[in-house]
């Protein structure tokens, strides 16, 4: 029977809840909205499937087809797909192929009022909701069981998510329907860390109250307004139109609202659980200085398995691509986990006691600490110029 002694031991993939034959496990949110398994011992039959399916450990199933992944820089040939995607739209090319085969695609979309959750798509229109970065941990719900049913129905299935989610899905299918693994294709993203669902929810509520207007659309990184390389969120209001902010992005890059397991992530290396790993291609100019001069975005992919490489070969006619030397594309989170902020526990306490506005002032970009930091930075820049 699965028991989480420390929060660093659980990534929230929900494989344990989905595999339980007695539905004895519920995924219960903590005070930041991160989900953890809780067992109803009256229903538990002690089959230990929940322990067996857990893949959040150093013994997760690693790819064995290649000594190292096969990296490529990739951009979709349709520039409209690139503009409407977060990077180079390689996910669109790959998922188009799956859908054209009559398959299904799973990815992070929205439920309720921009609550991030994994969803199922059978059309390209439904799939388009999965475009773009979503800097919130998604609720997996019953998606793993849906994946299993699609595979049993003979469909090709493409699942996309963070590495811990992909590892959970693969382990769940291996332990519950291993005969269908050949039709499961998995894409994981190079993940910086998964922020709090409740902080995101309260942040949107704060913006709506501040602007006295309702939000109709969100962009975690607004490529249209600021270009691909910039990191700034924006929202669209029903009356006031699109407005940009920095507060949520600032908290994200402080690593102060991450799930605690992110600081010990077992997947922050090049032995990824996905058949293909996708990321923004930072450092693209070291390999091909011409490909992204328009700042529209370019994807990095790592083909980790032969299945992943074959899938990529299936969509080559839809994309521009070039091989990359692995050592020239190793981002920090392909080498080690993000360091969780030393005040992470205090942040959680303050958020639950005082609310989002206090958090934005004490830890974000609205208070005197941030203003003092910017002032000091500008003074140092001025001094450096005067010395030249």
* Domains of the chain, start order: 7-53 (3.30.70.20), 62-388 (no CATH)
Residue 301 phi, psi dihedral angles, 5° rounding: -125, 145
Report DSSP letters for 318-383, one per residue: GEEEEE--GGGS--GGGTSPPPPPTTHHHHHHHHHHH-HHHHHHHTSSSSHHHHHHHHHHHHHHHH
Q: Which residues contact 64 (CB under 8 A, 6 or more apart)?
A: none
Query: pTM above 0.85?
Result: yes
β 104-111/157-162 pair status? parallel
Tokens of 84: 């409407």
* DSSP code of residue 7: G
β 184-189/215-219 pair status? unpaired
Do the Cβ atoms of 141 and 117 come closer than 8 Å? yes
Residue whose entry in the numeric block shows the structure tokens 């959750």: 117
- In terms of phi and psi (left: phi > 0; alpha: psi -120 to 50; beta: otherwise), the region of 89 is left
pLDDT at 224: 81
Assign 253 to helix, strand or coil.
helix
Tokens of 75: 């951009």
CA distance 66 to 337: 23
In whole angstroms, how far apart are CA 63 and each of 163, 179, 308?
A: 13, 18, 11
The H or E element that residue 210 is part of is: helix 197-211
pLDDT at 228: 87
The H or E element that residue 15 is part of is: helix 15-19
β 25-29/233-237 pair status? unpaired
CA distance 303 to 280: 15
Whose CA is closest to 82, among 233, 258, 291, 275?
A: 291
pLDDT at 11: 98
Q: What is the pLDDT along the chain (388 residues), one digit of tens a residue?
A: 898 999 999 999 999 999 999 999 999 999 999 999 999 999 999 999 999 999 999 999 999 999 999 999 999 999 999 999 989 999 999 999 999 999 999 999 999 999 999 999 999 999 999 998 999 999 999 999 999 999 999 999 999 999 999 999 999 999 999 999 999 999 999 999 999 999 999 999 999 999 999 999 999 988 888 888 888 899 999 999 999 999 999 999 999 999 999 999 999 999 999 999 999 999 999 888 888 889 899 999 999 999 999 999 999 999 999 999 999 999 999 999 999 999 999 999 999 999 999 999 999 999 888 888 877 877 777 777 787 6
Whose CA is closest to 128, among 186, 75, 184, 89?
A: 89
pLDDT at 1: 83
């Amino acid at each position: 029977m699965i028991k989480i002694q420390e929060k660093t031991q659980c990534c929230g993939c929900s494989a344990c809840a989905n595999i339980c034959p007695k539905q004895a496990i519920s995924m219960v949110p903590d005070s930041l909205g991160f989900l953890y398994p809780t067992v109803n011992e009256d229903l538990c039959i002690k089959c230990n499937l929940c322990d067996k399916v857990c893949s959040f450990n150093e013994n997760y199933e690693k790819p064995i087809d290649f000594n190292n992944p096969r990296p490529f820089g990739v951009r979709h040939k349709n520039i409209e797909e690139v503009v409407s995607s977060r990077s180079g739209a390689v996910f669109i090319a790959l998922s188009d192929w799956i859908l054209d085969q009559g398959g299904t695609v799973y990815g992070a979309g929205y439920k309720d009022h921009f609550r991030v959750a994994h969803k199922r798509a059978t059309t390209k229109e439904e799939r388009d909701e999965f475009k773009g970065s979503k800097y919130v941990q998604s609720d997996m719900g019953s998606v793993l069981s849906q994946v299993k049913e699609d595979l049993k129905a003979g469909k090709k299935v493409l699942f996309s998510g963070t590495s811990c989610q992909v590892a959970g899905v693969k382990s769940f299918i291996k332990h519950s329907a291993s005969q269908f693994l050949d039709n499961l294709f998995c894409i994981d993203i190079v993940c910086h860390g998964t922020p709090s669902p409740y902080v995101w929810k309260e942040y949107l509520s704060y913006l709506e109250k501040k602007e006295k207007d309702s939000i109709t659309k969100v962009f975690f990184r607004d490529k249209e307004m600021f270009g691909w390389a910039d990191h700034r969120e924006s929202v669209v209001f029903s009356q006031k139109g699109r407005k940009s902010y920095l507060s949520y992005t600032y908290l994200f890059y402080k690593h102060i609202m991450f799930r605690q397991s992110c600081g010990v992530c077992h997947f922050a290396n090049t032995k990824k659980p996905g058949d293909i790993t996708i990321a923004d291609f930072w450092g693209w100019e070291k390999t091909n200085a011409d490909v992204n001069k328009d700042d529209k975005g370019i994807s990095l992919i790592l083909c980790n398995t032969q299945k992943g490489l074959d899938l990529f070969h299936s969509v080559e006619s839809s994309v521009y691509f070039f091989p990359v030397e692995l050592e020239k594309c190793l981002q920090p989170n392909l080498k080690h986990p993000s360091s969780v902020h030393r005040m992470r526990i205090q942040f959680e306490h303050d958020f639950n006691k005082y609310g989002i506005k206090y958090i934005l002032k004490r830890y974000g970009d609205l208070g005197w600490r941030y203003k003092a930091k910017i002032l000091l930075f500008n003074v140092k820049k001025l001094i450096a110029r005067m010395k030249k």
